[in-house]
Amino acid sequence: MLDDFLTRAALAGLGLVLATGPLGSFVIWRRMAYFGDSTAHAAILGVALSFALSAPIYLGTLAVAVAMALVVAHLTGRGQSMDTVLGVLAHSALALGLVGASFVPSLRVGLDAFLFGDILAVSRTDIVWIWGGSALVLGLLIWRWQRLVTASVNEELAMAAGIDPARERLILSLALAVVVAIAIRIVGALLISAMLIVPAAAARGFSATPERMAGSATLIGAIAVLGGLWASLRLDTPAGPSIVAISALIYVATLGIWRK
């Protein structure tokens, strides 16, 4: 079964949404969309370093994404504006990654796959990395769920309950770094944020509890993956953008439902 490229693509996409559904909900609650986008852009530097050092792609992108999360946490803790820090680091890392890629001939040819994703080319090893990373993120979110939700809803209330909002923010940042590392082969650096934000945004309107929103976002993400792969096969369109387009259509449909 795993020899079928569509089956591998579906397994990879479904593995990814296990993490992006609940994590995307926190991204919306905490207004961290720009952070996810910036981390994804910075991951291109990790791709370039991985090719230059002949290291696994996932390890290179994870290392850069985690480093960025730690640097952002350090600089914002010293009073720097988060928007400014993210803008400087994201664009600098993206520029360095693109410059670095120009010195790696094998990457120069296939860089589009990391910018826009190439889910149809995932291997069995990729599936193991994706499901392992998603399981790690999901386990972390379940373990810290109540603390993360409290810190997201009201930081003063969290502090009164003995919860450090900065620590919970750092945990979410590290979880985002893992998701970016495993998602870059599927939807690419330019579309990762969309997979985090759009399904969660679609689920928000009809979710009465945080748990329901996380579950609904995961379900919507799964539908988008399968629908995007079907559209890509029937219409001969890029698979990654097709997945994001389907999730966007679902979001628009939920707006129409709730307007009625």
> Hey, how many other C-beta atoms are within 10 angstroms of the C-beta on 174?
18
Encode pLDDT of 103-156 as tens digits.
Answer: 877 665 567 777 778 888 888 888 999 999 999 999 999 999 999 999 888 888
Task: Look at the chain and report how many structural domains it folds into.
Answer: 1
Q: What is the pLDDT of residue 258?
A: 54
Average of pLDDT values for 190-199?
88
Identify the CATH number of the domain in which residue 172 sits. 1.10.3470.10
Mean pLDDT of 81-103: 81
* Higher pLDDT among residues 138 and 76, named by residue: 138
Asked if residue 212 has pLDDT above 90, the reply is: yes
2 pLDDT higher than 70: no
- Is the pLDDT score of 18 beyond 80? yes
With beta carbons less than 8 A apart as the criterion, state whether 94 and 41 touch: yes
| Of the listed ranges 43-52, 141-150, 231-240, the one predicted with least confidence | 43-52
pLDDT, position 1: 47
With a CB cutoff of 8 Å and minimum separation 6, the contacts of 157 are 150
Query: How far is Cα 212 from Cα 9, in angstroms, rounded to an integer?
Result: 27
Residue 37 domain boundaries: 5-259
